[in-house]
């Protein structure tokens, strides 16, 4: 009896980066023909410059032979002055070339100079000709011998592009998001062996090998023609030096840099301008904090008033969300950012006339309570509705356990204190955590424990039985997963939030362990860096498919294009959503769709980069 074949396990869902990479590979299979021609011409000019000595020597030999034949050899045999002999200089050049390749039929001269030239020209000429042919042939037909030089030639064909300095995890995601949004990119990387170099090269992105602090390297990347530059090397000081070098070359260049130190971040923005230095923890922490308070959060925007969440849901057959999209927005106080049908096709058009039907996939933005309300009303009525604590903290489950007190963890605790003051927050630190950090957290009114968060005793002491969320934010993927599994083992209903470095790993966690709230810090931070390099003074940013969305805070002035405009009209006509309206000391989050903007209103606009630029 033959054994039945083993069932094939289901393939995990592709991550957003994998989907984007596949889309880019289809779209960017080859360089445009004009770019290849122009790059080859530039590369050939470089090759000619490298082979200048044999070529110059060969040229001098030919010129010397031509002048001798034209001014002395032919006139002596015709007994006339050179201009009157009827000898064409081109004929003299032709005979010199024949002499060089041992094909000349001219009589051997009698004068010593001519005899010397008739011997030297073939010998030297042949030597330099062969040397030139060997050098040029090797350089032209074997470009793989110098891939760095070819990349430089390609980069010289780019203009109005963005320069990315550093191809780590953040830099790689910035490259993918900018390419997907339709912007051209040139990369500067100091290590040709970087794990992402080969992938980026296959996407037809030039990679310049070198130190971005070197002005010559920046020139090779086309800084004189670039629209912006992003420094994302894993070193604060190097990023600052890169930006300073770039500013010396082009003072008006839009520059963005990644910074780990929060104090340095603030001080640099005073020098370089607002939203030019971005701290990774500041960019990622709002999403971790929002995910700790609510379910199914894709990303978050932190406003002074409160946290806004972005959530994705699929409309069920018995959902209360079915109907006109405008009615759903008005009824729940949320906004529809993206609307796709069951086939994945994006539905566009006037939102007032657009209908939501079962099977549609919605990307919603709103306050956490409003999103929780919408998700609850979307639950299938044929199944028992989950209890309210599954959507947000409740009186019974009111403890938030945060593990890992790095910059991200501390920032998350501050956001939780501001947005969930009624909850008890407990921090778990490792035994190696400096006492200064523990003192800082304790001064915030947070209970702090030292220990291994994977240990059940430590989790129970932190209040696992009354916990709504366990957020593991260590800078170690494996440790975060182990903490999550340990908590889930004793509290299967616990809400988990995990920090990981790879968004591919985050997607795999969902498939393997059912952990749907694992986030990559680099994936959360990359859109803001990309958006800030394209458009000055943007705040938070995230990507939706092939578009980069960002926030921008502006003040309405009398007579400007926003004065007197309806919030609803801005979205329908400009693609801009007003997510906050501040007027006379009060704020509306999100702004009412029928509100009219007035002078001195401060509004937070959300839209894709092209709409914001307009």
Q: Would residue 34 count as lying in a domain?
A: no
Question: 506 in a domain, yes or no?
Answer: yes
Q: In terms of domains, do 79 and 119 share one?
A: yes
> Based on the domain organization, do 398 and 458 belong to the same domain?
yes
What CATH number does the domain containing 112 carry?
Answer: 1.10.287
Query: Residue 580's domain is classified under what CATH number?
Result: 3.30.70.1450
In a domain, 535, yes or no: no
The answer to whether residue 275 sits within a structural domain is: no
The CATH number for 461's domain is 3.40.50.720
State pLDDT tens for residues 195-247: 899 999 999 999 999 999 999 999 999 999 999 999 999 888 899 999 999 99
Average pLDDT over residues 529-552: 87
Prior bond to 314 cis, omega within 30? no
Cβ atoms 342, 359 nearer than 8 A: yes
How far apart are the C-alpha atoms of 577 and 560, rounded to whole Å? 17
In a domain, 444, yes or no: yes
Residue 35 belongs to some domain of the structure: no
Comparing 112-121, 321-330, 565-574, the range with the smallest average pLDDT is: 112-121
Do 127 and 157 fall within a single domain? no
Q: Are residues 114 and 198 in the same domain?
A: no
Same domain, 120 and 155: no
In this structure, what token pair is assigned to residue 255?
């520059």
Can you give the pLDDT at residue 274? Answer: 63
For residue 270, tell me if it sits in a domain.
Answer: no
Q: Which residue has the tokens 């059912």?
A: 514
Please report the pLDDT score of residue 345 as a whole number: 84
| Residue 177 CB partners (closer than 8 Å, separation 6+) | 20, 526, 527, 530, 543, 548
Same domain assignment for residues 109 and 184: no
Q: Supply φ then ψ for residue 306, to 5 degrees.
A: -175, 175
- Is residue 52 classed exposed, middle or buried when 0-12, 13-18 and 19+ CB atoms within 10 A define those classes? exposed
Say if residue 433 is in the same domain as residue 320.
yes
Whether 31 is covered by a domain: the verdict is no
pLDDT band at 10 (very low <50, low <70, confident <90, very high): very low
Looking at the fold, whether 396 and 250 belong to one and the same domain comes out as no
Please indicate, yes or no, whether residues 368 and 508 belong to a single structural domain of this protein.
Answer: yes
Q: Provide the residue range defining the domain that includes 247.
A: 148-259
CA-based nearest residue to 449, from 411, 418, 405, 481: 405
- pLDDT (mean) for 343-355: 80
Does residue 558 share a domain with residue 416?
Answer: no
User: Higher-confidence residue: 592 or 80?
Assistant: 592
Helices (H), 142-274: 147-155, 169-180, 197-202, 215-220, 236-249, 262-272
Among 28-42, 286-300, 464-478, 525-539, where is mean pLDDT lowest?
Answer: 28-42
Same domain, 352 and 497: yes
pLDDT at 125 > cutoff 80: no
Q: 141, 176, 191 — which closes off a domain?
A: 141
Does the pLDDT value for residue 346 go beyond 60? yes
Rounded mean pLDDT, 490-514: 78
The count of domains in the chain is: 4
- Co-location of 217 and 127 in the same domain: no
pLDDT of residue 233: 93
């Amino acid at each position: 009896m033959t054994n039945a074949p083993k069932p094939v396990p289901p393939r995990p869902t592709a991550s957003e980066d994998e989907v984007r990479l596949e889309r880019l590979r289809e779209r960017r299979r080859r360089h445009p023909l004009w770019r290849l021609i122009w790059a080859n011409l530039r590369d050939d000019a470089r090759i000619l410059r490298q082979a200048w000595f044999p070529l110059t020597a060969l040229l001098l030999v030919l010129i010397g032979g031509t002048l001798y034949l034209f001014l002395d050899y032919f006139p002596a045999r015709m007994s006339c002055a050179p201009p009157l002999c009827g000898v064409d200089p081109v004929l003299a050049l032709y005979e010199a070339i024949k002499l060089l390749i041992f094909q000349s039929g001219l009589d051997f001269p009698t004068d010593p100079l001519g005899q010397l030239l008739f011997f030297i020209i073939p010998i030297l000429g042949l030597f330099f000709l062969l040397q030139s042919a060997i050098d040029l042939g090797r350089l032209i037909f074997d470009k793989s011998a110098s891939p760095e030089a070819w990349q430089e030639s390609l980069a010289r064909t780019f203009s109005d592009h963005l320069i990315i300095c550093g191809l780590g995890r953040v830099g790689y995601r910035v490259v993918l998001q900018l390419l997907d949004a339709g912007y051209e990119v040139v990369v500067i990387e100091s290590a040709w062996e970087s794990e992402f170099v080969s992938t980026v090269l296959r996407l037809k992105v030039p990679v310049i090998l070198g130190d971005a602090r070197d002005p010559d390297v920046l020139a090779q990347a086309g800084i004189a023609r670039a629209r912006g530059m992003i420094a994302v090397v894993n070193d604060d000081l190097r990023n600052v030096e890169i930006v300073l070098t770039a500013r010396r070359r082009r003072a008006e260049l839009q520059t963005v840099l990644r910074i780990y130190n929060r104090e340095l971040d603030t001080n640099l923005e005073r020098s370089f301008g607002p939203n030019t230095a971005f701290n990774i923890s500041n960019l990622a922490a709002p999403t971790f904090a929002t995910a700790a308070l609510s379910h199914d959060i894709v990303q978050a925007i932190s406003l002074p008033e409160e946290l806004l969440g972005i959530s994705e849901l699929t409309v069920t057959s018995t959902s209360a969300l079915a109907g006109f999209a405008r009615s759903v927005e008005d009824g729940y106080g949320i906004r529809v950012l993206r609307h796709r049908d069951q086939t994945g096709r994006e539905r566009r058009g006037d939102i007032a006339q657009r209908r939501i039907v079962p099977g549609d996939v919605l990307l919603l933005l709103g306050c956490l309570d409003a999103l929780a309300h919408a998700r609850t009303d979307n639950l299938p009525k044929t199944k028992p509705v989950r209890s309210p604590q599954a959507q947000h903290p409740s009186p019974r489950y009111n403890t938030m356990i945060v593990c890992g007190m790095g910059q991200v963890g501390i920032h998350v605790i501050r956001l939780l204190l501001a947005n969930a003051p009624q909850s008890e927050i407990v921090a778990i630190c490792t035994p190696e955590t400096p006492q200064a950090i523990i003192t800082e957290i304790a001064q915030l009114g947070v209970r702090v424990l030292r220990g291994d968060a994977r240990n059940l005793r430590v989790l129970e002491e932190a209040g696992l039985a009354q916990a709504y969320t366990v957020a593991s934010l260590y800078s170690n993927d494996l440790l975060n997963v182990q903490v999550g599994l340990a908590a889930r083992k004793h509290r299967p209903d616990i809400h988990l939030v995990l920090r990981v470095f790879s968004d591919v790993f985050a997607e795999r966690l969902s498939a393997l362990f059912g952990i749907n709230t694992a986030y990559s810090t680099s994936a959360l931070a990359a859109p803001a860096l990309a958006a800030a390099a394209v458009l000055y003074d943007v705040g938070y940013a995230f990507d939706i498919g092939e578009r980069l969305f960002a926030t921008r805070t502006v003040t309405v002035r009398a007579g400007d294009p926003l004065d007197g405009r309806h919030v609803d009209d801005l979205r329908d006509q400009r693609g801009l959503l007003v997510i906050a309206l501040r007027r006379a000391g009060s704020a509306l989050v999100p702004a009412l769709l029928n509100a009219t903007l007035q002078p001195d209103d401060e509004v937070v606009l959300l839209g894709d980069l092209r709409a914001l630029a307009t």
